[in-house]
Amino acid sequence: MRRKLLAAAAAGGVALSTGLFVHFSGGVAHSGAEPNSALQPASKGSATQLPINQVVLFSSGVGYFQRQGEVEGNNRIDLSFPVQDVNDLLKSMVLQDMGNGHVSAVSYDSQAPVEKTLRSFAINLTGNPTFGGILNQARGEKVEAILQQSTTQPGTITGVIMGVEQKREAVGKEVVEAEFINLWCAEGMRSIRMSDIQRVRFLNPVMDSEVKKALETLSLSHDTQKKAVSISFAGEGKRTVKVGYVVENPIWKTSYRLVMKDKGKPYLQGWAVVENTQDEDWNNVRMSLVSGRPISFQMDLYQPLFVNRPVVEPELFASLRPPTYQGAMEKAAQQLGQAPGFGGGGFNGRAGRGPAPEADALARKSDKDRNEAREQALYLMKNNAIDPGKSVSSAAAATELGDFFQYAIEQPVSLARQKSAMLPIVTQEIDGTKVSIYNQNTHPKFPLLGLKFKNTTDLHLMQGPITVFEGNSYAGDARILDLQPKEERLISYAIDLGTEVEPVVANPTDRIIKVKITRGIVEATHKINQSKTYNVKNRSQHDRTLIVEHPYRAEFKLMAPEKFNERARDVYRFEVPVKSQGTAKLDVVEERDTLQSVTLSNTDDQTLRFFINHNVSSPAVKKALEGAVGLKNKVADTQRELAHANQQLKDITDDQNRLRANLKEMPPTAAAYKRYLEKFDKQETEIEQLREKIKQLQNQAFQQRRAFEDYLTALNVD
| Full-model pTM | 0.59
| Mean pLDDT computed over 182-210 | 89
* Range 128-206 classified under CATH 1.10.10.10: no
What band does 339 get if pLDDT is binned at 50, 70 and 90?
very low
The distance of Cα 219 from the centroid of its chain, to the nearest Å, equals 40
pLDDT over 80 at 321, yes or no: no
> Could you give the CA distance from residue 243 to residue 475 in angstroms, rounded to a whole number?
48
The pLDDT, as a whole number, for residue 38 is: 29
Q: Which residues contact 497 (CB under 8 A, 6 or more apart)?
A: 356, 358, 359, 362, 363, 446
> Could you give the CA distance from residue 359 to residue 365 in angstroms, rounded to a whole number?
10
| Mean pLDDT computed over 222-234 | 75
If one compares 390 and 60, the residue with the highest pLDDT of the two is 60
Give CA separation, 693 vs 639, 648, 651, in Å. Answer: 13, 11, 16
Going by C-alpha positions, the residue among 349, 362, 569 that lies closest to residue 463 is 349
| Mean pLDDT computed over 125-148 | 88
CA dihedral angle for residue 581, residue 496, residue 457, residue 296, rounded to 10 degrees:
-150
Question: Per DSSP, what are the bridge partners of residue 672?
Answer: none
What's 461's DSSP letter? B
> Could you give the CA distance from residue 691 to residue 429 in angstroms, rounded to a whole number?
100
The pLDDT, as a whole number, for residue 348 is: 36
> Could you give the CA distance from residue 343 to residue 328 in angstroms, rounded to a whole number?
37
| Mean pLDDT computed over 257-281 | 88
| Mean pLDDT computed over 278-300 | 80
3-state secondary structure labels for all residues of 323-390 = CCCCCCCCCCCCCCCCCCCCCCCCCCCCCCCCCCCCHHHHHCCCHHHHHHHHHHHHHHHHHHCCCHHH
> Could you give the CA distance from residue 113 to residue 221 in angstroms, rounded to a whole number?
9
The pLDDT, as a whole number, for residue 223 is: 58
The pLDDT, as a whole number, for residue 319 is: 40
The pLDDT, as a whole number, for residue 111 is: 62
With a pLDDT cut of 70, the percent of the chain lying above it is 76
CB count in 10 Å sphere of residue 699 = 11
Exposure on the CB side of residue 525, measured as CA atoms within 13 A: 12
Burial 501-524 (b: 16+ CB within 10 A, else e): bebeeeeeeeebebbbbeebbbeb
Q: Report yes or no: 525 and 614 within 8 Å, Cβ to Cβ.
A: no
What band does 530 get if pLDDT is binned at 50, 70 and 90?
very high
Helical (H) or strand (E) element with 218: helix 205-220
Q: Which residues contact 211 (CB under 8 A, 6 or more apart)?
A: 121, 122, 123, 202
| Tens digits of residue pLDDT in 1-56 | 333 333 333 323 322 222 222 233 333 333 333 333 322 333 333 335 688 999 99
If one compares 76 and 541, the residue with the highest pLDDT of the two is 541
If one compares 543 and 315, the residue with the highest pLDDT of the two is 543
If one compares 568 and 401, the residue with the highest pLDDT of the two is 568
| Tens digits of residue pLDDT in 102-130 | 888 887 766 656 677 778 888 888 888 88
The pLDDT, as a whole number, for residue 40 is: 32
